Each structure stands twice: as C-alpha cells, then as structure tokens.
C-alpha cells in the first residue's frame, strides 16, 4: 500500500468527515421513507445501495489513515 503523504492526511480526514455525514443523512432519509405511508421500495433500495458504497469508502479512507505498524 502506498504511504500517504503528510499534506494528504488533512484532505483525507475532511473527506472522511463528509462521508460520515452523508452516511448519517442517508440513514435518516431511509428510515423516514420506510416509516412513510407509501414507501417507495425502489428508492429505498437505491438509497441503501448508496449508503453501502459510502460505508465502503469510509472503511477505505480509514484504512489509509491508520499508520503502518511494524510487526
């Protein structure tokens, strides 16, 4: 894995914060739609897929930000 340059760390941390916020927002929207009188299952499914992609991106960024430890 490539080492992340120091000047990139802040950018990655900012992206991580934005993704976490988006993930939270998607979760709220999904729950609101599920609780509505006439939930649109197709939209809910698409939002859940988007939420999963965002979560995958969060995990990827977190792994880049974890410093390499010598075994």
Instruction: Parse the chain into domains and list their residue ranges.
Output: 6-64
Answer yes or no: is pLDDT of 1 > 50.
no
Q: Is residue 16 within 8 Å of residue 62, measured between CB atoms?
A: yes
Answer yes or no: is pLDDT of 2 > 60.
no
CA distance 28 to 24: 6
Helix or strand run (H / E) with residue 35 = helix 6-35
State pLDDT tens for residues 50-64: 999 999 999 999 998
Residue 66's pLDDT is what? 84
Residue 8's pLDDT is what? 84
User: Apex CA 16: angle with CA 30 and CA 3, to 5°?
Assistant: 145
Largest CA distance in the chain: 55
The token duo for 51 is: 């939420």
State pLDDT tens for residues 6-32: 778 889 999 999 999 999 999 999 999
């Amino acid at each position: 894995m490539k080492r992340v340059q120091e000047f990139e760390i802040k950018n990655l941390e900012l992206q991580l914060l934005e993704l976490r916020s988006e993930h939270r927002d998607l979760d709220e929207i999904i729950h609101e739609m599920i609780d509505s009188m006439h939930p649109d299952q197709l939209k809910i499914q698409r939002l859940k897929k988007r939420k999963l992609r965002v979560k995958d991106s969060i995990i990827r960024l977190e792994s880049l930000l974890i410093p390499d430890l010598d075994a």
